[in-house]
Amino acid sequence: MGHAPNYRSKKRKFAGNRYSNVRVKNDSQTVPDNVVDDENPKVTASSSKLEGYKNNFSNETSSETNSEIFGNRIINVKTLISVFAILCCPEGFSNNLLRNEDSRFGSSSNFCIKCKNCNFMKGFSSTVKVNNRNQLNTLVVYTLRLIGKGYNGGRKLFCRLDLPLLSKNTFRRQEMKVKQAASEAAIESMKASANNIMLLKGVQKDTTRYGVSMDGTWLKRGYSSFNGCVSCISVDNGKVLDIEIMSNFCRMCNNMPNSKYCSKHVYQNQKAYRIFERSEVTRNLQYTQYYGDGDSTAFDAVKDIYGENTVTKLECIGQVQKRVGSRLRKLKKIKKGTGRKGEINR
């Protein structure tokens, strides 16, 4: 008889008891804060931000609400002409209606219905107008920037769909409007987060000491991204308190013959220093506890910003786990046999 093959399966099998009964919790038992169950779930930052918008979403819908049509639709012009051809004039009751496109503003158009037999004429727009401006053009620019695309990406999409697009100059003007509105909304949201922290701490002073997490991120993975930001995040509710934009592209340096890359606006320690410097004026907070990466040099730039050694650094456990795990995996590749159970301790 042959022997069983002497190898270890790479897939780890489940060794627990899948048929154990769930322990019933009594009302008198208290659940600690670090224990997560169905009755005492941990609230994430996203769910806490959306807590105030629950009333806007209702599950109770009637038949009238379901039949209501709203939003935007893509419709072919020939289909629209064929529909108007079978309609009757409300004045002469004849079916000789003509549809004309009077003008076009970007992706929206102004149409006019005329009757051949009488003087009836009615004009309408293909989109809703807000303050006498077409809303669709702003939505197109906002949506393209939201998915990380610009004018060239929108032109390719609209050309494939045979849809009209804004001109390049109009697209740039709409971008500036969207940028201004987004900046104002972001500043108001970050100030509201700072006010919630002061209410949470219950401090009536003008300036409150608080701990924040600082980290930098880029738009793309790797080293090919030009745009990024440094964010200052609350350690209690996970909301953003302040941001500073980083850019790896400089138009002046790009026009120079020997310098194509500019690192003036890239350094994370400079962006962190600006956030800490304006914290007392804009947020009424002092970031006295710094949660950051272990390999970050930003702490050295901000540790004495409120006075000598007023900012203390607290190490992030996740970063320690990541560095230890990467070094253990590297050791496993270099030294064979250390991946088995108990071999790493020898």
* Distance (Å, whole) CA 286 – CA 209: 5
As a dihedral over the C-alpha atoms of residue 17, residue 18, residue 22, residue 23, rounded to 10 degrees, the angle is: 10
**Does residue 296 belong to any structural domain of this protein?**
yes
Cβ neighbourhood burial of 302 (10 Å; 0-12, 13-18, 19+): buried
* Distance (Å, whole) CA 285 – CA 112: 58
Q: Are residues 242 and 304 in the same domain?
A: yes
Q: What is the pTM of this model?
A: 0.64
**Does residue 88 belong to any structural domain of this protein?**
yes
Q: Are residues 220 and 145 in the same domain?
A: no
Q: Are residues 211 and 157 in the same domain?
A: no
**Does residue 288 belong to any structural domain of this protein?**
yes
Q: Are residues 86 and 154 in the same domain?
A: yes
Q: What is the pLDDT of residue 46?
A: 67
Q: What is the pLDDT of residue 344?
A: 61
Task: Count how many domains the chain has.
Answer: 2
**Does residue 27 belong to any structural domain of this protein?**
no
Asked which of 136, 166, 196 is the last residue of a domain, the reply is: 166
Q: Are residues 229 and 293 in the same domain?
A: yes
**Does residue 274 belong to any structural domain of this protein?**
yes
Q: Are residues 209 and 97 in the same domain?
A: no
Range of the domain at 144: 77-166
Q: What is the pLDDT of residue 187?
A: 92
Q: Are residues 217 and 143 in the same domain?
A: no
* Distance (Å, whole) CA 78 – CA 279: 59
Q: Are residues 220 and 139 in the same domain?
A: no
As a dihedral over the C-alpha atoms of residue 136, residue 140, residue 146, residue 150, rounded to 10 degrees, the angle is: -150
**Does residue 180 belong to any structural domain of this protein?**
no
3-state secondary structure of 290: strand
The angle at the Cα of 245, spanning 242 to 246, to the nearest 5 degrees, equals 140
3-state secondary structure of 20: coil
**Does residue 116 belong to any structural domain of this protein?**
yes
Residue with tokens 């990466």: 293
Listed in sequence order, the residues at least 6 apart from 319 whose beta carbon sits closer than 8 Å to its beta carbon are: 293, 294
Of 88, 82, 83, 125, give the one whose Cα is nearest residue 106: 125
Q: Are residues 131 and 208 in the same domain?
A: no
**Does residue 72 belong to any structural domain of this protein?**
no
222: left (phi over 0), alpha (psi -120 to 50) or beta: left
Q: What is the pLDDT of residue 62?
A: 44
Of 213, 236, 216, 240, give the one whose Cα is nearest residue 313: 213
Q: Are residues 219 and 309 in the same domain?
A: yes
Asked which of 111, 146, 166 is the last residue of a domain, the reply is: 166
Q: What is the pLDDT of residue 27?
A: 47
Residuewise pLDDT in 10s, the chain (346 residues): 555 556 555 666 666 666 665 554 454 454 454 444 555 566 666 676 666 666 655 555 444 455 677 788 888 888 887 887 777 887 777 777 777 788 888 888 888 888 888 888 888 888 888 887 888 889 999 999 988 889 999 999 999 988 888 899 999 999 999 999 999 999 999 999 888 888 887 776 677 888 898 888 877 776 667 788 888 998 888 889 999 888 777 777 777 766 555 555 556 788 888 999 898 888 888 898 888 776 567 888 888 888 888 888 887 777 778 888 888 888 888 877 666 666 665 5
Find how far residue 77's CA is from the centre of its chain: 36
Q: What is the CATH number of the domain that holds 255?
A: 3.30.420
Q: Are residues 213 and 155 in the same domain?
A: no
Q: Are residues 147 and 228 in the same domain?
A: no
